[in-house]
Amino acid sequence: MKSTVPVGTGATIRRMFTEQGKSGFAYVSCPEFLKEGSALEDFLHPDRVVVGDQGDWAGDAVVELYRPLDAPIVRTDIASAEMIKLAANAFLATKISFINEIANVSELTGADVQEVARGIGLDARIGTHFLKPGIGFGGSCFPKDVSALKQLAGNSGYHFQLLTAVIEVNELQKRRVIAKLQKHLGSLVKKRIALLGLAFKANTDDMREASSLVLSARLQADGATVSAYDPVAEEEARKLMGGVEFADSALGALDGADALVLVTEWPEFSELDWGEVARRMKGNVVVDGRNFLDRGRVEAAGFVYTGIGR
């Protein structure tokens, strides 16, 4: 089983084997830890391979299958292997919500969250990964797995308070972008807002749980017109985003816009000609939802720059 499944799935399937007289079948939990956009690299060079089994021939076979990858092999029981995958994704999501909370406090106190993240990330106990603030996590894994673990705990009679907060922080983070726009523009009625990037992250066309979905819906509910551009995800986005004007280039999306919101950190957005952007846009507000743009260049072109936690 490579998929992320609730703890207890393996036990249920093994029981079904027995009930159906298929005792010759074995079950091994071997969850994958691949990131979208770098799946091949992650598969060939994993941090670890998790093998959960009954300590029998099937587990031995899977261990031998993965041995050529020359990675640490964690061989354990089935339930623990299933929990490892859920716990790993929930922990990473927690790190994201934590640094987003630090970013929000940094904005109020004058600190720069990027400096804070650099300072705490050098602590070996914390590490640098997943300490990039933004407008919340999305995709097919983190939202689903955090909710699944929270539900699993609840079904087992335990209230997982921390994950409740992680989910709430992630939802509120998206709303803060709307507040930033309102701070500079006032009412968003009849304002034109351009979204650059729609996929939940760069190097994929995945729109599942993408922040752009929430942003476009909230902006339109507040009376704004939304234009958007994504170099890869437009086809998928069109299926999910009603009322949005899609452009065939970043500059096309910015024509006549009162504000720009960078949602996905596609490399091409770092190369924008900000002089040309200034000529195209009606307004001068830039909300950098990933702290990805060169703030100096943006401000030199006459824009009001707002990042996350800066």
CB of 33 within 8 A of CB of 88?
yes
d(CA 121, CA 108): 22
Q: Check if 30 is active-site.
A: no
**H-assigned helices in the chain:** 9-19, 39-44, 57-66, 78-109, 113-121, 142-155, 161-185, 211-221, 234-240, 250-254, 274-280, 295-300
Active-site choice (141, 181, 241, 277): 141
d(CA 77, CA 52): 5
Amino acid at 106: S
Distances (CA, A) of 42 to 20, 173, 181, 202, 291: 37, 29, 38, 16, 25
CB of 33 within 8 A of CB of 85?
yes
Number of Cβ atoms within 10 Å of the Cβ of 149? 21
**Angle at Cα 143 formed by Cα 197 and Cα 195, nearest 5°?**
15
Q: Which residues contact 226 (CB under 8 A, 6 or more apart)?
A: 192, 193, 194, 195, 216, 219, 220, 243, 244, 245
Task: Return the residue matching tokens 């830039």.
Answer: 286
Which residues are marked as active site? 141
